[in-house]
Amino acid sequence: MPQHAPQASPGTWVRVGQSIDGYVFSVNSDGSLEVGYFQNQVKAIKETVVWNGTHWEFKYSGPNGSYLRGPEAAIVKRGPRG
């Protein structure tokens, strides 16, 4: 049975899919999130994620994010434990 999306706010981390840690930069009016993540341990990317009833997933399939730079990229590269 689908569940309501867990509370997420800017500055917190969420799990996207099964294994991607995403840093919440903002919450959109429709409940989707703008999250940054470290793609393949190479690139810091920001992308929109949506709640599918059981977990957060990327809103769009295929390449869709934008590159993060500076302090935003540093947060994502450190990860939730850094």
**Segment 7-56, tens digit of pLDDT:** 899 999 999 999 999 999 999 999 999 999 999 889 999 999 999 999 99
70 lies in which domain range? 13-78
CB 37 within 8 A of CB 76: yes
CB atoms within 10 A of CB 60: 11
* 6 within some domain: no
- Coil, helix or strand for 77? helix
Which pLDDT belongs to residue 66?
95
* 51 within some domain: yes
pTM, rounded to two decimals? 0.92
The model's pLDDT over 53-66, given as tens digits with 9 standing for 90+, comes to 999 999 998 878 99
**How many angstroms separate the Cα of 29 from the Cα of each of 2, 17, 34, 48, 68?**
20, 22, 11, 12, 22
pLDDT at residue 82 is higher than 70: no
* 2 within some domain: no
* 62 within some domain: yes
For residue 45, which amino acid is it?
Answer: I
Q: How many domains does the chain have?
A: 1
